[in-house]
Amino acid sequence: MARELVVIKGAGDLASGVAHRLHQSGFQVIMTEIPRPTVIRRAVAFAEAVYSGEITVEGVTARLVSDPEGALRVTWQGEVAVLVDPRAEVIAALKPRVVVDAILAKTNLGTRIDQAPIVIALGPGFTAGTDAHAVIETQRGHYLGRVIWQGAAAANTGIPGEVMGYREERVLRAPAAGIFKSCKAIGDPVKAGETVATVNGVPLRAQIGGVLRGVLHDGLEVTAGQKAGDVDPRGERDYCFTISDKARAIGGGVLEAILHLKGYIS
């Protein structure tokens, strides 16, 4: 198992939880991203390397690279490689043992079961046995992180997970279309009604108090109503900078699926 290559499509916070677990289990991990990622939980998302060049999450560093060869070098140095590669062309170039679709687009954007000996997909939009060898349940609840060998994950409800009785109230949404600019940093305390960001000067106000767990990168162009941030009512600043329970559960499901499938593929 050690040093086998895994390509993960997407580098958001859930994908990064998967990458962290696989890296810590001895796999070489390369992640692909779009040129301007719209990740909310940037403090725990390896996608942030696209903007900053590198980011460290719980002791694991991800580094931005420019080509597949550079990605391999970074993984051999003990880091996660992040490559701007919207079409995930690195898969054809490097022929990894494992491909994980962690884009979480709620639909299949091009992943095929024949792209690698082991192909795993996260969440709805995929059918195990058709699009991928296994699908991982991403919906919170009793089955979170379960490996699905036949069929699909639960459909997306569009309802945010509940935290201390709050659901949609936790989510910060752009008040207008335009250029996003934050007024607070991740981990900062916020009060209900306080301005957290602006879009073309229009204030985006928090609906509840807590800590700012995530917020979009400054300068991104957003649409009205687009998710732009997340307030955690628990008020625990450390939660903003550590992998979530959901991401850890999904990462465990991916690792289980890989180890199971390796028993059948030489």
Q: Which CATH architecture has domain 5-155+245-262?
A: 3-Layer(aba) Sandwich (3.40)
* Region for residue 3 given its phi and psi (left: phi exceeds 0; alpha: psi -120 to 50; beta: otherwise): left
Q: What is the pLDDT of residues 177-189, one digit of tens each?
A: 999 999 999 999 9
Phi, psi for residue 105 in degrees, rounded to 5: -85, 0
Mean pLDDT of 119-130: 98
| 187, amino acid identity | G
Distance (Å, rounded) from C-alpha 110 to C-alpha 128?
15
Say what percent of the chain tops pLDDT 70. 98
Phi, psi for residue 11 in degrees, rounded to 5: -140, 30
Mean pLDDT of 224-239: 97
Q: What is the pLDDT of residues 44-98, one digit of tens each?
A: 999 999 999 999 999 999 999 999 999 999 999 999 999 999 999 999 999 999 9
The structural domains of the chain, with segments of one domain joined by +, span 5-155+245-262, 168-233
Q: How confident is the model at residue 160 (pLDDT cuts 50, 70, 90)?
A: confident
Question: The whole model's pTM is what?
Answer: 0.95
Q: At what angle do helices 245-262 and 13-24 cross, to 10 degrees?
A: 50
Residues in contact with 80: Cβ distance below 8 Å, sequence separation at least 6, in sequence order: 19, 23, 29, 30, 31, 46, 60, 61, 62, 63, 74
Selecting from 3.30.310.40, 2.40.50.100, 2.102.10.10, 3.90.550.10, what CATH number does the domain 168-233 have? 2.40.50.100
Position 127 scores a pLDDT of 98
pLDDT at 24 > cutoff 50: yes
Position 2 scores a pLDDT of 41
Q: Strands 5-9 and 98-101: what pairing?
A: parallel
Say what percent of the chain tops pLDDT 90. 92
